[in-house]
Structure 1
């Protein structure tokens, strides 16, 4: 049985959010040709409902592991296959991306809880890091100790 915190597909907006999403001006309608994907990103100020309108593909969400709160490295990868008329609810701040896994075009309709939604891509964030932090972090082998907020000191 799925836990209360586990993300699942829905065929409509979750209860209580229909009005907010339907009042947005225009949905965003990305189109992916075979083997294309949308870069990993998140929306810090909006929930998203994504509906497949053509083809098939996947939505991949990286989310906190509800069974291991407050521990480093406890994110989990959720992969959902999408076909026409299926939707997924993506909570605000959840890292995600889309992939066309089918043989035809993969079209989506994205609606947001905030018509002025922001998008931050992995590329945006990584490029803002200084090289001495970026390189060891991306290699998965940082050479400096990872400190928790409680242990961090302001030494230069």
Structure 2
């Protein structure tokens, strides 16, 4: 009797876990209603009868971003904040412009994997695996080359050519997010205590103070 009850319990648990998984699309689209007061994991859908073609359209990737900054790069993102029709579809796009010797510094996309295509120029790219291996996978890419960055891993791109470079990135989330490592460590608000960062990086606190001042 106990064995039968245990078996039934396992079957019920398995069924409940299957039912609790994320469902597939249940409609043709779910255009984001950014005015909705309903709080969900993402955006609520607006009435599909009110959808218009502009909900699925964006213009601007033909324009170069302004890469005249300290990092020498500019990211033009196209996610659900720019195309409401991307809501629930799990995809987004970005154009990245690199000045000569510019870089897209080490960063993470917490909610997406990325596939990068070089449109112009040459890039040195790479990602690092998680602890304890921390193995670097890196390669020089030229026009037409493609590279994949797995979700949640630190990665970067550096313009190793003598001219500007352009890349197009596709990401597996409508809102992939970005965490730039240097920004979150040295420019958080309020600041992380310098003695904590100094111990983590095994450097003197004066060095940490100097770096924090740059931000």
TM-score by length of 2: 0.48
* Residue equivalent to 1:63: 129
* Residue equivalent to 1:139: 202
Shift of 1:125: 2.8
Greater helix content: 2
The count of residues paired between Structure 1 and Structure 2 equals 112
Structure-2 separation of matches of 1:123 and 1:81? 23
Greater strand content: 1
Structure of higher CA gyration radius = 2
Shift of 1:24: 3.6
Structure-1 separation of matches of 2:183 and 2:97? 22
Cα offsets for 1:74-110 (capped at 9, x unmatched): 2011211111111111111010110000111111001
Divergent runs of 4+, >6 A: none
Structure 1: gaps spanning 5 or more residues: 1-21, 65-71, 142-156
Task: Provide the aligned C-alpha RMSD in A.
Answer: 2.1
Q: Following superposition of structure 1 onto structure 2, how do residues 58-137 of structure 1 map, counting pairs within 5 Å? A: 58-64=124-130, 73-127=132-186, 128=188, 129-137=192-200
TM-score by length of 1: 0.65
Shift of 1:131: 1.6
Structure-1 separation of matches of 2:143 and 2:181? 28
The one of the two structures with greater contact order (alpha-carbon pairs below 8 A, sep at least 6) is: 1
* Residue equivalent to 2:70: none
